[in-house]
Amino acid sequence: MSLKFSSENSVLIIPLGGMGEIGRNMTLIEFRGEILIIDMGLTFPDETTPGVDYIVPDVSYLKEAQKQNKKIIGILLTHGHYDHIGAIPYLLPQIGFKFPIFASELTKGIVLKRQEDFPEHPPLKIKEIRDGDTINLGSFHIEAFRLNHNVPGDLGFWIKTPVATISHVPDFKFDSNPVNDEPTQKERFIEIGKRGVDLLMQDSTGAEEEGHSLSEKDIFENLRKIFEKEKDKRIIAATFASLLNRIQQLITLSEEFSRYVVIEGYSMRTNVEIARKLGYMKIKPGTLITAKEASKMPPQKVTIICTGAQGEENAALVRIAQREHRFLSVGPKDAIIFSSSIVPGNERAVQYLKDQLYRQGAAVYHYKMMDIHAGGHAQREELAEMIKMMQPRFFLPMHGQYSMLVEHARLAQSLGIPEKNTIVLDNGQVLSLTKQKAKVIGEVPAGKVMVDGLGVGDVGEVVLRDRQALAQDGIFVIIVVIDVQAGKVRSSPDIISRGFIYLRESQGLLKEVRRMTVRTVNKLVRPKKAPDVAYIKKVLQEKLGDFLFSKTHRRPMILPVVIEV
């Protein structure tokens, strides 16, 4: 890879993820060979990536930059959600562990807890920072500022370099009445704007949503109404494992209504444990009990807070609904709360889960029925207000699908930022910034790197295509034994089929396949001459593929196995 662009007289902004997608957030800011990294997030697989665990950014550019004596000077982490921190264990082994990481107290706790799953890695150097703290790294002067989100410890960064200043505003919302957090500090944002912002980089997740996001106080009051209405039932509330503010609300209400609380789901229990230890969650002694203890209690005395609001396979609520949980099941004495919106792509799984719960007689509440979920992302009214307060010369929307980025850019233009000063980037594009201009000058690799089990990057497009083919039409294996001395097939070929046809009910088709295979192979071999096995396999794949498609209109993956005896 050739690094054809220079950062001598301008700052380079290089997103490796988070542009044109939700998640996988990671941005590089480079000046004179010094590289600052903001976030290392992952995203989750969809129907196009079967079997994959996570998808992380491509750090090929960073590895090549280090070879050419460029230096990574540090990593800034905005908050503790996995779309911003989840790729750390997979990327640091590729680029090194020697540079410092900066994060808020809770984010640091979540990252270090996650690292316990990777004991082979050296200890991380994480320096704790908070609102107002300043950091000097090489040519970068950085100041952290607090933001409201749905997890405590969310930070934005004002970054000053010799040629331009940048304000990096990740996931945020304006909430004057938050739960388990301090109110929005608008005067701080106004002060930063007066100080000078050449480029504002701002989260775009809510850029297509009109109005203002709901306050957590409103959500709290609506949840209280459910607790009052369903006081004789057990309450099972499902939400995101990382939505700590919502979990706190549910615990507070449970204590108010004299209920014990079960936390179900490994990731949720872990996050609650960390937040409680650091003082970000307040839980009375004796409130938390186990699922086994809850199973023996009257329903009205118990609240279960769990994962599974997205219908994820093996999540706690799904196991409870399918009666696969060891101690818990659902019935008419349960009220289910879905305190989350549906992530795009999960609609079918969530609907199936709701139907299961209804069939078992439970009362079900979700965000379309009443306001029991508020996203952590600013909507258009709040996005516009932040732009006005920051007063940037240039505007770069980030973190969102492409339509969100475009609508966010148009919003900035409607507020007086010239169209030529609003930039919509794709992952990998390199933006050159000075006080006078901002323009795209190049591109670096920024593809999707798959994490599957212990492998990072060893699953590529070819493997994914094979998995999709297997999922769609199955696999058809034919085993042929060739007698080299006689120059012909020794016995009737064996056939294995998975996901294509049921062998017992397809005997006629299988006879034809065997006859065709024997005829084809016998034409390709000669007595006492070593057969060309690779060519035989290729011919069998083509002939059997065409034949099976003509009979079934399906194209299974065909694997001929040729054995010489």
Q: Which residues are catalytic?
A: 203, 377
Give CA 82 to chain center in angstroms.
Answer: 6
CA-CA-CA-CA torsion sign (276, 280, 284, 290): negative
User: Which has the closest alpha carbon to 376: 237, 178, 186?
Assistant: 178
DSSP state of 492: P
Which pair of tokens denotes residue 411? Answer: 């919003």
Which pair of tokens denotes residue 323? Answer: 């009666």
**Residue pair 189/386 in contact by the 8 Å Cβ criterion:** yes
**Residue pair 466/557 in contact by the 8 Å Cβ criterion:** yes
Helices (H) and strands (E) in the chain, counts: 16, 26
C-alpha to C-alpha distance for 85 and 24, rounded to whole angstroms: 9
Where are the strands (E) in 434-556, listed by range? 438-443, 448-452, 455-456, 475-483, 488-489, 494-498
The contacts of residue 51 (CB under 8 Å, 6+ apart) are 45, 452, 459, 467
C-alpha to C-alpha distance for 407 and 399, rounded to whole angstroms: 13
DSSP string, 290-313: -HHHHTTS-GGGEEEEES-TT--T
Task: Give alpha helix (H) positions in 215-305.
Answer: 216-229, 244-256, 266-277, 291-294
C-alpha to C-alpha distance for 119 and 65, rounded to whole angstroms: 28
User: Which has the closest alpha carbon to 271: 111, 126, 131?
Assistant: 111
Which pair of tokens denotes residue 265? Answer: 């789901």
Which pair of tokens denotes residue 289? Answer: 């009990």
Torsion of CA 516, 519, 520, 521, to 10 degrees: 120
User: Which has the closest alpha carbon to 523: 489, 558, 494?
Assistant: 489
The contacts of residue 510 (CB under 8 Å, 6+ apart) are 495, 503
C-alpha to C-alpha distance for 69 and 212, rounded to whole angstroms: 46
Question: Token match 């542009």: residue?
Answer: 19
**Residue pair 100/72 in contact by the 8 Å Cβ criterion:** no
